[in-house]
Amino acid sequence: MNLILMGAPGAGKGTQSEKISEKWGIPAISTGEILRAAIKEGTALGREAKTYIDDGKLVPDETVIGIVKEYLASSVCQNGFILDGFPRSIPQAEALDTLGVKIDAVLSIEVADETIVERMSGRRVCACGASYHLLFNPSKVEGICDKCGAKTTVRADDAPETVTKRLATYHEQTEPLKAYYAKKGLLLEVKGQDEITETTRLVFDALGSISL
């Protein structure tokens, strides 16, 4: 299964991609995570990406397209993949089409903006990709990742003023992709407003209905 996961910042893409990844045994590729790892390592890519991410803007299309191209060509993606957070603009979607990669479905997790702001304030993340919430999905020991034992952190771009900018960027540049993929008959919309387990149920239901 080749899947695209869409949704506003904080809609639950990372959380649900973990579940899909476990159930279907396919890797999740999160462009946001790849960029944050580059920032941590202090690479040229990281230095470029940081200015955009800190400002709640999209990293330039050519940069992220280059990253995704490399992943899709590698052996890890040969039995399917989940693209978490890519494409995020029409030019990115067109570039993906040009690569000739078959996409089976585009799943969009729908959450109201008001809910997003509340969710982001409690988000804690781990460098291994795990995502927690102080109230809605706490780690067993506060501040420590269940999966790898590392310390969890607050993302710099989860500050309320940056979240507001990211939501505006989403509505302006990413949301038009829903019409783009609906036209191709690939769009599946799932309500992401309820608790995590209920959202996972809706996600699995939606994915169970697609023909591969």
Q: Is 93 in the site for ligand ADP (CB under 6 A)?
A: no
The residues pairing with 125 across neighbouring beta strands, listed in sequence order, are 131, 153
- Taking CB under 6 A as the criterion, the residue among 3, 6, 29, 32 binding ligand ADP is 32
Question: Which does residue 147 bind out of ligand ADP, Zn ion, none, counting CB within 5 to 8 angstroms by kind?
Answer: Zn ion
Work out whether 141 is an interface residue with Zn ion (CB under 5 A): no
List the one residue from 38, 67, 83, 130 that touches Zn ion (CB under 5 A).
130
Q: Are 20 and 203 in contact (CB under 8 A)?
A: yes
Q: Contacts for 36-43 with beta carbons within 8 Å, 24 or more apart?
A: 36/127, 36/155, 37/127, 40/127
**What is the biggest distance separating any 2 CA atoms in the chain, rounded to whole angstroms?**
45
Peptide bond between residue 87 and the one before it cis (omega within 30 degrees of 0): yes
Pick from 47, 147, 171, 191: which binds Zn ion (CB under 5 A)?
A: 147
The item of Zn ion, ligand ADP, none sharing an interface with residue 85, based on CB under 5 to 8 Å by kind, is ligand ADP
> Active-site residue numbers?
13, 88, 123, 155, 166
Q: Which is nearer to ligand ADP, 78 or 197 (by Cβ)? A: 197
- Give me 165's structure tokens: 């900018």
**Interaction between residue 126 and ligand ADP (CB under 6 A):** no
Residue 53 and residue 190: Cα distance in Å, rounded? 27
- Residue 4, token pair as written in the block: 């695209």
Please pick, from the candidates 76, 99, 148, 179, the single residue that binds Zn ion as defined by CB under 5 A. Answer: 148
- Which strand ranges, in their side-by-side order, compose the sheet holding 81-84? 28-30, 81-84, 2-7, 105-110, 187-191
Task: State yes or no: residue 125 binds Zn ion (CB under 5 A).
Answer: no
Interacting stretch for ligand ADP, rule CB under 6 A, among 40-48, 74-82, 98-106, 188-196?
188-196
| Binding interface with Zn ion (CB under 5 A) | 126, 128, 130, 145, 147-148, 150
